[in-house]
C-alpha cells in the first residue's frame, strides 16, 4: 500500500518550461532513482482517486495500491534513495508529472497521523503510553535533526505539527509534508524569507517580524517544542474560536501544571526540553542535536527553563490586538479537564 499526494496546479504561460526544469533536475540528481509514473497509472492505482486520506500542504492525499510486479521493481528502485532516506522521515517512492497533473508517491502509514492519538476528539483510538510517546518524540527529533544536518542540502521544514507526523505499523514516527520546506547549502546557517510560513500555533515568533529577513533552523526547534507540549498536555495549543477574555497562554499553563516531583521521568524530560525549545529568542533555544541530547540524558542534568511569556511581551508582531499571529492559547474552561499525569 502507498500514500499518494495528488497535486493539481493551474499553470500560466511562464510555467510552460517547468517539465524541462524537472527533467534537468532529475538528470543532475540521478542518484535519487525515483520512479516516474504516468497519470493513467496513478489514476488506476487509486481507483480514480476514490479513497481520500487527508489534505497536505500542497494537495490532497489518496490511498493507492501497486501491482505485485511493480512492487518488486519499487523495492529495487527505492533501495538506491539512501541519500535522502531516514527511518524518521517519510520516504518518497515516485512521482507523476503530466501537464498540470502532479502526484507524489510515499509509503503508506497504517496508523495515520499523531494528532489522532493525542487530541481528545479522537476517542476511538487507544491512548498511547508515556513511554510510547517519549519514543515518538525522540524519533521526530531525530528526523528533524536529519533534515537539518544529515542531507546533502539542509532542509528547513517550517510545518512541524502532529498532523504532519505519520506513524507506521510499529508507531515509528515519520516527518512528512514538505510543502512549505526550504532548502539551503550545508555551509549556510540561515535562509531568507519574505513572508511567514507554517501553521498557527506552531510558527516561531521571529517569523512575525514585519521584516522577516533571515531565519535559522531554530524555527523548526520552536515547532518541535510546541509539538512536545501538545503530546504532554493532550490539547491543541491554539484555539482560534476561544473567547479572548477566557484565554491562557498554553506554554504557561504547561509550566504551571508541571509537577517535577510526581511526573514520570519521560514526561519531565519532554516538558523541560519543550520549554527550552519554545524560548522567544532563537539564540536561547537549543539546536535540534542539543534538544535530542537533553531528551536522552539523565534527568538530573537538565535545568528547568524560565517560565515562558507571551509573544506580546517580547516581540513586535504584525497584530498586537487580536490573535492573528497564532499565539498558543487555551480556553480557561478546559483547564479542569486536562492533567499531565496518568497512563
The CATH number of 2-107, from 2.40.50.140, 3.20.20.100, 3.30.200.20, 3.40.50.300, is 3.30.200.20
Answer whether 257's CB lies under 8 Å from 232's CB: no
> Could you give the CA distance from residue 87 to residue 228 in angstroms, rounded to a whole number?
20
Eight-class DSSP state of 311: H
Ranges of residues in the chain with a pLDDT under 50 are: 1, 4-16, 18, 69-83, 240-241, 243-246, 312-325, 331-343
How many Cα atoms sit within 13 Å of 187 on the Cβ side? Answer: 0
- Give the pLDDT confidence score for residue 343 in this predicted structure: 47
- Give the pLDDT confidence score for residue 27 in this predicted structure: 56
Q: Which fold has domain 115-337?
A: Transferase(Phosphotransferase); domain 1 (1.10.510)
Q: What is the mean pLDDT of the chain?
A: 73
Eight-class DSSP state of 231: H
- Give the pLDDT confidence score for residue 339 in this predicted structure: 40
| Region of residue 342 (phi > 0: left; psi between -120 and 50: alpha; otherwise: beta) | left
Nearest Cα to 288, choosing from 138, 91, 77? 138
- Give the pLDDT confidence score for residue 5 in this predicted structure: 46
- Give the pLDDT confidence score for residue 312 in this predicted structure: 47
Question: Residue 320 is placed in which grid cell?
Answer: 498586537
Residues of the chain with CATH 1.10.510.10: 115-337
Catalytic residues: 159
Detail the DSSP E strand segments found in the chain.
Answer: 2-8, 35-36, 52-55, 60-64, 92-98, 101-107, 154-156, 165-167, 173-175, 182-184, 190-193, 213-216, 247-249, 329-331
- Give the pLDDT confidence score for residue 69 in this predicted structure: 47
Nearest Cα to 274, choosing from 298, 297, 295? 295
- Give the pLDDT confidence score for residue 245 in this predicted structure: 43
- DSSP per residue over 266-286, as a string? HHHHHHHHHHHHT-SSGGGSP
Answer whether 270's CB lies under 8 Å from 232's CB: yes
- Give the pLDDT confidence score for residue 72 in this predicted structure: 43
> Could you give the CA distance from residue 159 to residue 229 in angstroms, rounded to a whole number?
16
Answer whether 295's CB lies under 8 Å from 234's CB: no
- Give the pLDDT confidence score for residue 324 in this predicted structure: 42
Nearest Cα to 204, choosing from 225, 185, 231, 230? 225
pLDDT digits (tens, 9 = 90+) for 175-213: 988 778 787 766 777 776 666 778 888 989 888 765 556
In the chain, the N- to C-terminal Cα span, in Å, equals: 32
Eight-class DSSP state of 47: T
Cβ partners under 8 Å of residue 134, min gap 6: 266, 267, 269, 270, 295
- Give the pLDDT confidence score for residue 257 in this predicted structure: 79
Amino acid at each position: 500500500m502507498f500514500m499518494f499526494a495528488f497535486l493539481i496546479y493551474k499553470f500560466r504561460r511562464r510555467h510552460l518550461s517547468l517539465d524541462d526544469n524537472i527533467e534537468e533536475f532529475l538528470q543532475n540528481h540521478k542518484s535519487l532513482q525515483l520512479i516516474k509514473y504516468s497519470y493513467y497509472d496513478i489514476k488506476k492505482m487509486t481507483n480514480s482517486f476514490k479513497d481520500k486520506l487527508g489534505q497536505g500542504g500542497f494537495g490532497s492525499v489518496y490511498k493507492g495500491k501497486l501491482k505485485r510486479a511493480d512492487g518488486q521493481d519499487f523495492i529495487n528502485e527505492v533501495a538506491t534513495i539512501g541519500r535522502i532516506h531516514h527511518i524518521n522521515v517519510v520516504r518518497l517512492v515516485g512521482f507523476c508529472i503530466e501537464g498540470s497533473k502532479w502526484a507524489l508517491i510515499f509509503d503508506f502509514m497504517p496508523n495515520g497521523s499523531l494528532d489522532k492519538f493525542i487530541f481528545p476528539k479522537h476517542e476511538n483510538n487507544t491512548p498511547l503510553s508515556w513511554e510510547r510517546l517519549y519514543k515518538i518524540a525522540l524519533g521526530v527529533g531525530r528526523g528533524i535533526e536529519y533534515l537539518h544536518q544529515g542531507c546533502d542540502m539542509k532542509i528547513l521544514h517550517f510545518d512541524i505539527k502532529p498532523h504532519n507526523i505519520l506513524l507506521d505499523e510499529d508507531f515509528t514516527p515519520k516527518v512528512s509534508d514538505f510543502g512549505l520546506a526550504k532548502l539551503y547549502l550545508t555551509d549556510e546557517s540561515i535562509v531568507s524569507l519574505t513572508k511567514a510560513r507554517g501553521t498557527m500555533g506552531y510558527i516561531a515568533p521571529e517569523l512575525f517580524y514585519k521584516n522577516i529577513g533571515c531565519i535559522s533552523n531554530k524555527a523548526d526547534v520552536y515547532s518541535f517544542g510546541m509539538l512536545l507540549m501538545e503530546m504532554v498536555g493532550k490539547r491543541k495549543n491554539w484555539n482560534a474560536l476561544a473567547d479572548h477574555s477566557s484565554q491562557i497562554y498554553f506554554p504557561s499553563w504547561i509550566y504551571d501544571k508541571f509537577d517535577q516531583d510526581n511526573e514520570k521521568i519521560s514526561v519531565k524530560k519532554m516538558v523541560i526540553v519543550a520549554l527550552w525549545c519554545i524560548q522567544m529568542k532563537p539564540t536561547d533555544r537549543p539546536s535540534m542535536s542539543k534538544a535530542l541530547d537533553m531528551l536522552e540524558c539523565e534527568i538530573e542534568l537538565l535545568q528547568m527553563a524560565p517560565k515562558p511569556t507571551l509573544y506580546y511581551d517580547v516581540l513586535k508582531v504584525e497584530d498586537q490586538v487580536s490573535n492573528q499571529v497564532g499565539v498558543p492559547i487555551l480556553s480557561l474552561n478546559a483547564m479542569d479537564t486536562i492533567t499531565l499525569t496518568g497512563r
